[in-house]
Amino acid sequence: MIDQTMSASALSGPPVSRWWGCFPELRRDTLGFLLRCHAYGDVVKLPMGLVLELLLRQRDAAMYVLNHPADVRHVLVTNQDNYRKAPVAPAESRIFGQGVLHTEGEIHHRQRRLFLPFFHGNHVTAYADLIVGKADDLAAQWQDGTTIEIGQAMAHLTLSVIWRLLFGREVGSEATTLRETIAVGQRLIKLQYDSLFASLTPLWVPTQLHRQFTRGFRTIEAMIRRLIDERRTATRHGDDDMLSLLFSARDAEGRRLSDEEIRDELMTFLLAGHETTANALTWTWFLLSQHQSVWEQLTQEVNEVVGNRLPTAADVPLLRYTKMVWEESLRLYPPAWCLHTRLALAQDRLPSGAVLPSGAWVFVSPWSLHRNARWFPDPTRFDPERFSEEAKDARPAFSYIPFGAGGRRCLGESFAELEGLLILATLASRIQLCSVEGQTIQLEAGMTLRQNVPIRMTVQRLGSSEPHPAAT
Ligand code: HEM
Protein backbone atom coordinates (compact mmCIF):
# COMPACT_ATOMS: atom_id res chain seq x y z
CA MET A 1 0.00 0.00 0.00
CA ILE A 2 1.41 3.41 -0.88
CA ASP A 3 0.87 6.52 1.15
CA GLN A 4 0.86 9.26 -1.42
CA THR A 5 -1.55 10.46 -4.06
CA MET A 6 -1.07 8.96 -7.56
CA SER A 7 -2.92 10.62 -10.39
CA ALA A 8 -4.42 8.41 -13.11
CA SER A 9 -1.62 9.37 -15.52
CA ALA A 10 0.98 8.09 -13.03
CA LEU A 11 -0.66 4.64 -12.81
CA SER A 12 0.83 1.92 -14.96
CA GLY A 13 -0.17 -1.40 -16.47
CA PRO A 14 0.99 -3.98 -19.00
CA PRO A 15 1.64 -2.78 -22.58
CA VAL A 16 -1.54 -2.74 -24.70
CA SER A 17 -2.59 -1.90 -28.27
CA ARG A 18 -2.88 1.83 -29.04
CA TRP A 19 -6.03 1.27 -31.13
CA TRP A 20 -7.76 -1.54 -29.29
CA GLY A 21 -6.37 -1.01 -25.80
CA CYS A 22 -6.44 -3.94 -23.39
CA PHE A 23 -9.20 -5.86 -25.21
CA PRO A 24 -7.07 -8.10 -27.47
CA GLU A 25 -5.08 -9.24 -24.40
CA LEU A 26 -8.22 -9.71 -22.34
CA ARG A 27 -9.82 -11.72 -25.14
CA ARG A 28 -6.73 -13.88 -25.71
CA ASP A 29 -6.30 -14.91 -22.09
CA THR A 30 -8.64 -13.05 -19.72
CA LEU A 31 -7.77 -14.93 -16.57
CA GLY A 32 -4.01 -15.08 -17.13
CA PHE A 33 -3.93 -11.40 -18.08
CA LEU A 34 -5.62 -10.42 -14.81
CA LEU A 35 -3.05 -12.40 -12.84
CA ARG A 36 -0.20 -10.77 -14.75
CA CYS A 37 -1.64 -7.40 -13.68
CA HIS A 38 -0.63 -8.17 -10.05
CA ALA A 39 2.90 -7.09 -10.97
CA TYR A 40 1.81 -3.51 -11.74
CA GLY A 41 0.68 -2.44 -8.27
CA ASP A 42 -2.46 -1.91 -6.25
CA VAL A 43 -4.32 -0.15 -9.07
CA VAL A 44 -3.54 -1.13 -12.65
CA LYS A 45 -4.50 1.12 -15.52
CA LEU A 46 -5.66 -0.57 -18.72
CA PRO A 47 -6.26 1.90 -21.56
CA MET A 48 -9.32 1.07 -23.66
CA GLY A 49 -7.72 2.28 -26.92
CA LEU A 50 -8.44 4.98 -29.48
CA VAL A 51 -11.40 3.22 -31.09
CA LEU A 52 -13.37 3.08 -27.85
CA GLU A 53 -12.25 6.58 -26.88
CA LEU A 54 -13.88 7.80 -30.10
CA LEU A 55 -17.02 5.73 -29.65
CA LEU A 56 -17.45 6.71 -26.02
CA ARG A 57 -16.25 10.27 -26.69
CA GLN A 58 -14.06 9.88 -23.60
CA ARG A 59 -10.39 10.93 -23.71
CA ASP A 60 -7.93 8.61 -21.97
CA ALA A 61 -10.76 6.09 -21.39
CA ALA A 62 -9.36 3.30 -19.22
CA MET A 63 -10.29 0.42 -16.98
CA TYR A 64 -8.72 0.31 -13.54
CA VAL A 65 -8.13 -3.10 -11.97
CA LEU A 66 -8.17 -3.05 -8.15
CA ASN A 67 -5.65 -5.40 -6.54
CA HIS A 68 -5.83 -4.16 -2.96
CA PRO A 69 -8.62 -5.19 -0.55
CA ALA A 70 -8.74 -1.71 1.04
CA ASP A 71 -9.50 -0.18 -2.37
CA VAL A 72 -12.11 -2.88 -3.00
CA ARG A 73 -13.83 -2.03 0.26
CA HIS A 74 -13.75 1.67 -0.63
CA VAL A 75 -15.38 1.21 -4.05
CA LEU A 76 -17.93 -1.46 -3.07
CA VAL A 77 -18.82 -0.24 0.41
CA THR A 78 -17.43 3.00 1.86
CA ASN A 79 -17.94 5.20 -1.16
CA GLN A 80 -20.31 2.96 -3.13
CA ASP A 81 -22.65 5.84 -3.99
CA ASN A 82 -19.93 7.20 -6.28
CA TYR A 83 -20.11 4.09 -8.46
CA ARG A 84 -22.79 2.61 -10.67
CA LYS A 85 -22.84 -0.47 -12.84
CA ALA A 86 -21.49 0.12 -16.36
CA PRO A 87 -23.74 -0.74 -19.36
CA VAL A 88 -23.85 -4.49 -20.03
CA ALA A 89 -23.88 -6.51 -23.26
CA PRO A 90 -27.20 -6.14 -25.19
CA ALA A 91 -28.13 -9.82 -24.74
CA GLU A 92 -27.58 -9.53 -20.99
CA SER A 93 -29.77 -6.48 -20.80
CA ARG A 94 -32.48 -8.26 -22.83
CA ILE A 95 -32.48 -11.21 -20.40
CA PHE A 96 -32.44 -9.40 -17.07
CA GLY A 97 -34.42 -6.27 -18.02
CA GLN A 98 -35.14 -4.14 -14.97
CA GLY A 99 -34.60 -6.97 -12.47
CA VAL A 100 -32.70 -6.25 -9.24
CA LEU A 101 -29.35 -7.22 -10.77
CA HIS A 102 -29.19 -4.23 -13.10
CA THR A 103 -31.22 -1.36 -11.65
CA GLU A 104 -29.75 1.59 -9.77
CA GLY A 105 -30.69 4.16 -7.12
CA GLU A 106 -34.12 4.22 -5.43
CA ILE A 107 -35.61 1.48 -7.62
CA HIS A 108 -32.76 -0.84 -6.68
CA HIS A 109 -33.12 -0.01 -2.96
CA ARG A 110 -36.82 -0.77 -3.12
CA GLN A 111 -36.19 -4.09 -4.85
CA ARG A 112 -33.59 -5.13 -2.26
CA ARG A 113 -35.91 -4.16 0.60
CA LEU A 114 -38.51 -6.47 -0.90
CA PHE A 115 -36.17 -9.45 -1.32
CA LEU A 116 -33.97 -9.28 1.78
CA PRO A 117 -36.51 -10.88 4.19
CA PHE A 118 -37.15 -13.63 1.62
CA PHE A 119 -33.48 -14.67 1.81
CA HIS A 120 -33.12 -14.48 5.56
CA GLY A 121 -33.09 -16.93 8.46
CA ASN A 122 -35.94 -19.39 8.69
CA HIS A 123 -37.30 -18.57 5.28
CA VAL A 124 -34.11 -19.91 3.73
CA THR A 125 -33.67 -22.91 6.03
CA ALA A 126 -37.26 -23.93 5.26
CA TYR A 127 -35.90 -25.09 1.89
CA ALA A 128 -33.42 -27.52 3.47
CA ASP A 129 -35.62 -30.61 3.23
CA LEU A 130 -36.49 -29.86 -0.38
CA ILE A 131 -32.80 -29.53 -1.31
CA VAL A 132 -31.82 -32.71 0.52
CA GLY A 133 -34.74 -34.65 -0.97
CA LYS A 134 -33.74 -33.67 -4.50
CA ALA A 135 -30.06 -34.51 -3.91
CA ASP A 136 -31.05 -37.86 -2.41
CA ASP A 137 -33.27 -38.66 -5.43
CA LEU A 138 -30.36 -37.88 -7.72
CA ALA A 139 -27.98 -40.12 -5.76
CA ALA A 140 -30.57 -42.91 -5.93
CA GLN A 141 -30.71 -42.66 -9.74
CA TRP A 142 -26.96 -43.15 -10.16
CA GLN A 143 -25.91 -46.76 -10.59
CA ASP A 144 -22.54 -47.89 -9.34
CA GLY A 145 -19.96 -47.41 -12.10
CA THR A 146 -22.06 -45.02 -14.22
CA THR A 147 -20.24 -42.13 -15.89
CA ILE A 148 -21.98 -38.79 -15.51
CA GLU A 149 -21.35 -35.21 -16.64
CA ILE A 150 -21.13 -33.51 -13.29
CA GLY A 151 -21.78 -29.94 -14.58
CA GLN A 152 -24.99 -30.98 -16.24
CA ALA A 153 -26.12 -33.00 -13.23
CA MET A 154 -25.50 -30.12 -10.82
CA ALA A 155 -27.23 -27.62 -13.14
CA HIS A 156 -30.37 -29.79 -13.36
CA LEU A 157 -30.36 -30.25 -9.60
CA THR A 158 -30.03 -26.52 -8.78
CA LEU A 159 -32.54 -25.64 -11.50
CA SER A 160 -35.12 -27.95 -9.94
CA VAL A 161 -34.51 -26.26 -6.56
CA ILE A 162 -34.76 -22.68 -7.83
CA TRP A 163 -37.88 -23.48 -9.85
CA ARG A 164 -39.61 -24.58 -6.62
CA LEU A 165 -38.36 -21.45 -4.84
CA LEU A 166 -39.73 -19.21 -7.59
CA PHE A 167 -42.96 -20.95 -8.60
CA GLY A 168 -43.72 -23.42 -5.80
CA ARG A 169 -43.94 -26.34 -8.25
CA GLU A 170 -41.76 -28.95 -9.90
CA VAL A 171 -39.87 -28.16 -13.06
CA GLY A 172 -41.00 -30.56 -15.76
CA SER A 173 -40.02 -31.14 -19.35
CA GLU A 174 -39.21 -27.41 -19.64
CA ALA A 175 -35.87 -28.05 -17.85
CA THR A 176 -34.11 -29.11 -21.05
CA THR A 177 -35.33 -26.08 -23.04
CA LEU A 178 -34.26 -23.83 -20.17
CA ARG A 179 -30.74 -25.26 -19.97
CA GLU A 180 -30.26 -25.19 -23.76
CA THR A 181 -31.44 -21.59 -23.98
CA ILE A 182 -29.23 -20.49 -21.12
CA ALA A 183 -26.25 -22.07 -22.88
CA VAL A 184 -27.07 -20.13 -26.08
CA GLY A 185 -27.50 -16.92 -24.04
CA GLN A 186 -24.10 -17.45 -22.43
CA ARG A 187 -22.43 -17.95 -25.82
CA LEU A 188 -23.98 -14.77 -27.19
CA ILE A 189 -23.11 -12.67 -24.15
CA LYS A 190 -19.50 -13.85 -24.28
CA LEU A 191 -19.33 -13.04 -27.97
CA GLN A 192 -20.71 -9.54 -27.32
CA TYR A 193 -18.11 -8.89 -24.61
CA ASP A 194 -15.32 -10.25 -26.79
CA SER A 195 -16.19 -8.44 -30.02
CA LEU A 196 -17.07 -4.79 -30.44
CA PHE A 197 -18.70 -5.65 -33.76
CA ALA A 198 -20.93 -8.31 -32.17
CA SER A 199 -21.93 -5.96 -29.36
CA LEU A 200 -22.95 -3.27 -31.88
CA THR A 201 -24.97 -5.67 -34.05
CA PRO A 202 -28.65 -5.33 -33.02
CA LEU A 203 -30.39 -8.49 -31.87
CA TRP A 204 -32.91 -8.24 -34.74
CA VAL A 205 -30.13 -8.89 -37.29
CA PRO A 206 -30.89 -12.56 -38.13
CA THR A 207 -27.55 -14.27 -37.39
CA GLN A 208 -27.91 -17.91 -36.42
CA LEU A 209 -27.00 -17.20 -32.79
CA HIS A 210 -29.40 -14.23 -32.58
CA ARG A 211 -32.23 -16.38 -33.93
CA GLN A 212 -31.53 -19.21 -31.49
CA PHE A 213 -31.26 -16.72 -28.64
CA THR A 214 -34.47 -14.87 -29.44
CA ARG A 215 -36.45 -18.05 -30.06
CA GLY A 216 -35.21 -19.63 -26.82
CA PHE A 217 -35.83 -16.63 -24.61
CA ARG A 218 -39.29 -16.07 -26.06
CA THR A 219 -40.10 -19.65 -25.06
CA ILE A 220 -38.87 -19.07 -21.51
CA GLU A 221 -40.78 -15.79 -21.30
CA ALA A 222 -43.93 -17.55 -22.49
CA MET A 223 -43.45 -20.20 -19.75
CA ILE A 224 -43.05 -17.50 -17.11
CA ARG A 225 -46.06 -15.53 -18.41
CA ARG A 226 -48.19 -18.67 -18.30
CA LEU A 227 -47.20 -19.29 -14.69
CA ILE A 228 -47.96 -15.65 -13.80
CA ASP A 229 -51.39 -15.87 -15.47
CA GLU A 230 -52.23 -19.17 -13.80
CA ARG A 231 -51.37 -17.78 -10.39
CA ARG A 232 -53.32 -14.59 -11.01
CA THR A 233 -56.47 -16.53 -11.78
CA ALA A 234 -56.02 -19.11 -9.03
CA THR A 235 -54.18 -17.62 -6.06
CA ARG A 236 -53.38 -20.38 -3.63
CA HIS A 237 -53.51 -19.48 0.05
CA GLY A 238 -50.34 -20.15 1.97
CA ASP A 239 -48.02 -19.87 -1.04
CA ASP A 240 -44.73 -18.38 0.06
CA ASP A 241 -42.73 -18.69 -3.13
CA MET A 242 -41.19 -15.74 -4.91
CA LEU A 243 -44.09 -15.39 -7.30
CA SER A 244 -46.50 -14.73 -4.44
CA LEU A 245 -44.01 -12.28 -2.90
CA LEU A 246 -43.96 -10.37 -6.19
CA PHE A 247 -47.76 -10.39 -6.41
CA SER A 248 -48.04 -8.86 -2.95
CA ALA A 249 -45.36 -6.20 -3.58
CA ARG A 250 -46.29 -2.54 -4.06
CA ASP A 251 -44.15 0.25 -5.49
CA ALA A 252 -43.59 3.71 -3.89
CA GLU A 253 -47.04 4.87 -5.10
CA GLY A 254 -48.76 1.74 -3.78
CA ARG A 255 -49.13 0.26 -7.31
CA ARG A 256 -48.90 -3.48 -7.95
CA LEU A 257 -45.93 -4.63 -10.04
CA SER A 258 -46.64 -4.99 -13.75
CA ASP A 259 -46.28 -8.38 -15.45
CA GLU A 260 -43.16 -7.01 -17.10
CA GLU A 261 -41.59 -6.13 -13.75
CA ILE A 262 -42.52 -9.53 -12.30
CA ARG A 263 -41.05 -11.26 -15.36
CA ASP A 264 -37.76 -9.36 -15.02
CA GLU A 265 -37.34 -10.34 -11.37
CA LEU A 266 -38.21 -13.98 -12.00
CA MET A 267 -35.84 -14.19 -14.94
CA THR A 268 -33.09 -12.60 -12.82
CA PHE A 269 -33.47 -15.09 -9.97
CA LEU A 270 -33.88 -18.01 -12.33
CA LEU A 271 -30.50 -17.32 -13.90
CA ALA A 272 -28.54 -15.76 -11.01
CA GLY A 273 -29.95 -18.39 -8.65
CA HIS A 274 -28.91 -21.68 -10.17
CA GLU A 275 -26.09 -21.39 -12.69
CA THR A 276 -23.63 -19.97 -10.12
CA THR A 277 -24.38 -22.58 -7.46
CA ALA A 278 -24.20 -25.41 -10.00
CA ASN A 279 -20.86 -24.07 -11.15
CA ALA A 280 -19.50 -23.90 -7.58
CA LEU A 281 -20.64 -27.46 -6.87
CA THR A 282 -19.10 -28.75 -10.10
CA TRP A 283 -15.71 -27.29 -9.21
CA THR A 284 -15.99 -28.62 -5.67
CA TRP A 285 -16.61 -32.19 -6.87
CA PHE A 286 -13.72 -31.83 -9.28
CA LEU A 287 -11.38 -30.63 -6.51
CA LEU A 288 -12.53 -33.39 -4.16
CA SER A 289 -11.83 -35.99 -6.83
CA GLN A 290 -8.25 -34.72 -7.05
CA HIS A 291 -7.55 -34.51 -3.31
CA GLN A 292 -8.17 -37.83 -1.57
CA SER A 293 -7.14 -36.64 1.92
CA VAL A 294 -9.60 -33.71 1.78
CA TRP A 295 -12.31 -36.08 0.58
CA GLU A 296 -11.61 -38.43 3.51
CA GLN A 297 -11.77 -35.61 6.04
CA LEU A 298 -15.01 -34.34 4.56
CA THR A 299 -16.70 -37.75 4.56
CA GLN A 300 -15.52 -38.39 8.12
CA GLU A 301 -17.23 -35.16 9.21
CA VAL A 302 -20.40 -35.98 7.29
CA ASN A 303 -20.51 -39.44 8.87
CA GLU A 304 -20.02 -38.01 12.36
CA VAL A 305 -22.60 -35.25 11.98
CA VAL A 306 -25.21 -36.96 9.83
CA GLY A 307 -24.59 -40.69 10.12
CA ASN A 308 -27.07 -42.82 8.16
CA ARG A 309 -29.97 -40.37 8.11
CA LEU A 310 -30.49 -37.46 5.70
CA PRO A 311 -28.94 -34.08 6.60
CA THR A 312 -31.15 -31.29 7.94
CA ALA A 313 -30.82 -27.52 8.32
CA ALA A 314 -29.75 -28.05 11.95
CA ASP A 315 -26.67 -30.00 10.76
CA VAL A 316 -25.34 -27.18 8.61
CA PRO A 317 -23.57 -25.20 11.39
CA LEU A 318 -21.84 -28.45 12.42
CA LEU A 319 -20.47 -29.16 8.95
CA ARG A 320 -17.44 -26.94 9.60
CA TYR A 321 -14.90 -28.73 7.43
CA THR A 322 -17.41 -29.13 4.59
CA LYS A 323 -17.89 -25.37 4.74
CA MET A 324 -14.11 -24.81 4.60
CA VAL A 325 -13.98 -27.00 1.47
CA TRP A 326 -16.85 -25.02 -0.09
CA GLU A 327 -15.15 -21.70 0.73
CA GLU A 328 -11.77 -22.81 -0.61
CA SER A 329 -13.45 -24.02 -3.79
CA LEU A 330 -15.12 -20.59 -4.19
CA ARG A 331 -11.71 -19.00 -3.68
CA LEU A 332 -9.98 -21.01 -6.41
CA TYR A 333 -12.92 -21.04 -8.81
CA PRO A 334 -15.25 -18.13 -7.99
CA PRO A 335 -18.27 -18.60 -10.31
CA ALA A 336 -18.62 -14.79 -10.51
CA TRP A 337 -14.99 -14.39 -11.55
CA CYS A 338 -15.46 -10.63 -12.04
CA LEU A 339 -18.06 -8.26 -10.67
CA HIS A 340 -20.00 -6.01 -13.01
CA THR A 341 -17.69 -3.22 -14.06
CA ARG A 342 -18.40 -0.05 -12.08
CA LEU A 343 -18.31 3.49 -13.46
CA ALA A 344 -16.97 6.31 -11.26
CA LEU A 345 -19.43 9.22 -11.18
CA ALA A 346 -16.86 11.68 -9.78
CA GLN A 347 -13.10 11.70 -9.26
CA ASP A 348 -12.19 9.60 -6.23
CA ARG A 349 -9.03 9.08 -4.17
CA LEU A 350 -8.65 5.45 -3.09
CA PRO A 351 -7.00 4.33 0.18
CA SER A 352 -3.96 3.14 -1.85
CA GLY A 353 -3.45 6.76 -2.95
CA ALA A 354 -4.54 6.23 -6.58
CA VAL A 355 -6.89 8.87 -7.91
CA LEU A 356 -9.59 7.54 -10.26
CA PRO A 357 -10.91 10.13 -12.69
CA SER A 358 -14.62 10.71 -13.18
CA GLY A 359 -15.81 8.19 -15.81
CA ALA A 360 -13.21 5.55 -14.79
CA TRP A 361 -14.28 1.95 -15.48
CA VAL A 362 -13.46 0.02 -12.33
CA PHE A 363 -12.78 -3.69 -12.53
CA VAL A 364 -13.00 -5.85 -9.38
CA SER A 365 -12.28 -9.51 -9.95
CA PRO A 366 -12.75 -12.13 -7.22
CA TRP A 367 -10.66 -14.47 -9.40
CA SER A 368 -7.70 -12.10 -9.37
CA LEU A 369 -8.01 -11.12 -5.68
CA HIS A 370 -8.35 -14.74 -4.58
CA ARG A 371 -5.21 -15.75 -6.48
CA ASN A 372 -3.04 -12.90 -5.24
CA ALA A 373 -0.06 -14.41 -3.40
CA ARG A 374 0.00 -11.42 -1.04
CA TRP A 375 -3.21 -12.59 0.62
CA PHE A 376 -3.15 -16.29 -0.32
CA PRO A 377 0.41 -17.72 -0.34
CA ASP A 378 0.93 -20.48 -2.92
CA PRO A 379 -2.41 -19.41 -4.40
CA THR A 380 -3.01 -22.29 -6.81
CA ARG A 381 -2.85 -24.91 -4.03
CA PHE A 382 -6.22 -26.29 -2.86
CA ASP A 383 -6.12 -26.07 0.92
CA PRO A 384 -9.37 -25.82 2.92
CA GLU A 385 -7.31 -24.96 6.04
CA ARG A 386 -7.09 -21.43 4.65
CA PHE A 387 -10.63 -21.08 5.96
CA SER A 388 -10.00 -22.06 9.57
CA GLU A 389 -11.13 -19.23 11.89
CA GLU A 390 -7.50 -18.28 12.68
CA ALA A 391 -6.43 -18.18 9.04
CA LYS A 392 -9.47 -16.06 8.12
CA ASP A 393 -8.76 -13.60 10.95
CA ALA A 394 -5.18 -13.19 9.75
CA ARG A 395 -6.24 -11.99 6.28
CA PRO A 396 -7.38 -8.49 5.35
CA ALA A 397 -11.13 -8.10 4.93
CA PHE A 398 -12.25 -7.91 1.29
CA SER A 399 -9.40 -10.14 0.04
CA TYR A 400 -12.09 -12.84 -0.39
CA ILE A 401 -15.33 -11.71 -2.05
CA PRO A 402 -17.01 -14.57 -3.97
CA PHE A 403 -20.41 -12.96 -3.31
CA GLY A 404 -19.35 -9.34 -3.88
CA ALA A 405 -19.79 -6.74 -1.15
CA GLY A 406 -21.72 -3.67 -0.06
CA GLY A 407 -25.14 -2.62 -1.30
CA ARG A 408 -24.96 -5.02 -4.25
CA ARG A 409 -23.77 -8.06 -2.36
CA CYS A 410 -25.37 -11.28 -3.56
CA LEU A 411 -28.94 -11.58 -2.30
CA GLY A 412 -28.85 -15.36 -2.49
CA GLU A 413 -25.60 -15.92 -0.57
CA SER A 414 -27.10 -17.71 2.43
CA PHE A 415 -29.37 -19.75 0.18
CA ALA A 416 -26.41 -20.73 -2.02
CA GLU A 417 -24.39 -21.78 1.01
CA LEU A 418 -27.24 -23.83 2.47
CA GLU A 419 -27.83 -25.47 -0.88
CA GLY A 420 -24.13 -26.12 -1.54
CA LEU A 421 -23.42 -27.65 1.88
CA LEU A 422 -26.55 -29.80 1.96
CA ILE A 423 -25.96 -31.16 -1.54
CA LEU A 424 -22.33 -31.95 -0.71
CA ALA A 425 -23.30 -33.67 2.55
CA THR A 426 -26.19 -35.65 1.04
CA LEU A 427 -24.22 -36.94 -1.93
CA ALA A 428 -20.97 -37.50 -0.02
CA SER A 429 -22.70 -39.85 2.39
CA ARG A 430 -23.86 -42.03 -0.50
CA ILE A 431 -21.39 -41.86 -3.36
CA GLN A 432 -17.85 -40.92 -4.32
CA LEU A 433 -17.23 -39.19 -7.64
CA CYS A 434 -13.97 -39.88 -9.44
CA SER A 435 -12.78 -37.92 -12.51
CA VAL A 436 -12.51 -40.02 -15.63
CA GLU A 437 -8.84 -40.32 -16.57
CA GLY A 438 -7.31 -38.42 -19.49
CA GLN A 439 -9.52 -35.32 -19.41
CA THR A 440 -7.83 -31.95 -19.87
CA ILE A 441 -9.95 -29.37 -18.14
CA GLN A 442 -9.33 -25.71 -18.89
CA LEU A 443 -10.99 -22.63 -17.48
CA GLU A 444 -13.33 -20.47 -19.52
CA ALA A 445 -14.25 -16.98 -18.31
CA GLY A 446 -17.81 -16.64 -19.58
CA MET A 447 -20.74 -15.31 -17.57
CA THR A 448 -19.50 -17.72 -14.91
CA LEU A 449 -16.13 -19.42 -14.53
CA ARG A 450 -16.80 -22.58 -16.52
CA GLN A 451 -14.93 -25.62 -17.78
CA ASN A 452 -14.03 -25.68 -21.50
CA VAL A 453 -15.38 -29.24 -21.76
CA PRO A 454 -17.92 -31.15 -19.65
CA ILE A 455 -16.22 -32.91 -16.72
CA ARG A 456 -17.00 -36.63 -16.76
CA MET A 457 -16.99 -38.49 -13.48
CA THR A 458 -17.57 -42.07 -12.45
CA VAL A 459 -19.99 -42.83 -9.65
CA GLN A 460 -18.85 -45.19 -6.96
CA ARG A 461 -21.61 -46.03 -4.52
CA LEU A 462 -20.20 -46.04 -1.02
CA GLY A 463 -20.19 -49.49 0.42
CA SER A 464 -19.18 -51.09 -2.91
CA SER A 465 -15.58 -52.07 -2.19
CA GLU A 466 -13.45 -51.85 -5.36
CA PRO A 467 -12.58 -48.53 -7.06
CA HIS A 468 -13.68 -48.43 -10.68
CA PRO A 469 -11.04 -48.98 -13.35
CA ALA A 470 -12.16 -45.81 -15.19
CA ALA A 471 -11.56 -43.69 -12.13
CA THR A 472 -8.29 -41.93 -11.35
C1 HEM B 1 -22.30 -19.87 -5.34
C2 HEM B 1 -23.33 -19.20 -5.76
C3 HEM B 1 -23.36 -17.72 -6.03
C4 HEM B 1 -22.34 -16.86 -6.27
C5 HEM B 1 -20.85 -17.15 -6.31
C6 HEM B 1 -22.93 -15.55 -6.46
C7 HEM B 1 -22.21 -14.39 -6.69
C8 HEM B 1 -22.77 -13.13 -6.79
C9 HEM B 1 -22.01 -11.90 -6.89
C10 HEM B 1 -20.50 -11.79 -6.91
C11 HEM B 1 -22.90 -10.88 -6.96
C12 HEM B 1 -22.56 -9.40 -7.03
C13 HEM B 1 -22.33 -8.90 -8.44
C14 HEM B 1 -21.76 -7.49 -8.47
O15 HEM B 1 -21.58 -6.82 -7.45
O16 HEM B 1 -21.47 -7.04 -9.58
C17 HEM B 1 -24.22 -11.46 -6.93
C18 HEM B 1 -25.40 -10.73 -7.02
C19 HEM B 1 -26.64 -11.30 -6.98
N20 HEM B 1 -26.94 -12.63 -6.75
FE21 HEM B 1 -25.64 -14.12 -6.45
N22 HEM B 1 -24.29 -15.67 -6.37
C23 HEM B 1 -24.60 -16.97 -6.08
C24 HEM B 1 -25.86 -17.51 -5.88
C25 HEM B 1 -27.03 -16.80 -5.93
C26 HEM B 1 -28.34 -17.34 -5.64
C27 HEM B 1 -28.61 -18.78 -5.19
C28 HEM B 1 -29.26 -16.32 -5.85
C29 HEM B 1 -30.75 -16.32 -5.70
C30 HEM B 1 -31.49 -17.34 -5.33
C31 HEM B 1 -28.49 -15.15 -6.25
C32 HEM B 1 -29.04 -13.93 -6.57
C33 HEM B 1 -28.31 -12.76 -6.78
C34 HEM B 1 -28.92 -11.48 -7.05
C35 HEM B 1 -30.41 -11.19 -7.18
C36 HEM B 1 -27.87 -10.55 -7.16
C37 HEM B 1 -28.00 -9.06 -7.45
C38 HEM B 1 -27.92 -8.25 -6.14
C39 HEM B 1 -27.98 -6.75 -6.37
O40 HEM B 1 -27.44 -6.25 -7.36
O41 HEM B 1 -28.53 -6.07 -5.50
N42 HEM B 1 -27.16 -15.47 -6.29
N43 HEM B 1 -24.12 -12.83 -6.81
Strand partners, 304: none
**Mean pLDDT, to the nearest integer, of 320-339?**
98
> What is d(CA 312, CA 358) in angstroms, rounded to the nearest whole number?
50
- If you take atom 42 of ligand 1, which residue's CA is the nearest one? 412
The pLDDT of residue 236 is above 70? no
Q: Which residues line ligand 1 (CB under 6 A)?
A: 100-101, 112, 268-269, 272-273, 276-277, 280, 335-336, 339-340, 402-404, 408, 410-412, 415-416
- The answer to whether residues 67 and 42 touch, using CB atoms and an 8 Å cutoff, is yes
The pLDDT of residue 250 is above 50? yes
**Mean pLDDT, to the nearest integer, of 287-312?**
96
Q: How confident is the model at residue 470 (pLDDT cuts 50, 70, 90)?
A: very low
Q: What percent of the chain stands above pLDDT 90?
A: 74
Ligand 1 mean position to 144 CA, how many Å? 35
**What are the pLDDT digits (tens) for 23-63?**
899 889 999 999 999 999 999 999 999 998 998 888 889 99
> What is d(CA 257, CA 249) in angstroms, rounded to the nearest whole number?
7
8-93+338-379 and 105-334+410-461 agree in CATH topology? no
> What is d(CA 308, CA 448) in angstroms, rounded to the nearest whole number?
35
> What is d(CA 83, CA 340) in angstroms, rounded to the nearest whole number?
11
The predicted structure's pLDDT at residue 469: 43
**What are the pLDDT digits (tens) for 119-134?**
988 888 999 999 999 9
Q: What is the DSSP string of 332-364?
A: HS-SS-SPPPEEESS-EE-TTSBEEPTT-EEE-
Q: In testing the pocket of ligand 1, which one of 410, 424, 449 has its CB within 8 Å of the most ligand atoms?
A: 410
Q: Does domain 8-93+338-379 have CATH number 1.10.10.60?
A: no
**Mean pLDDT, to the nearest integer, of 352-371?**
96
- If you take atom 32 of ligand 1, which residue's CA is the nearest one? 412
Q: What is the CATH number of domain 105-334+410-461?
A: 1.10.630.10
The pLDDT of residue 343 is above 50? yes
Residue extents of the structural domains in the chain: 8-93+338-379, 105-334+410-461
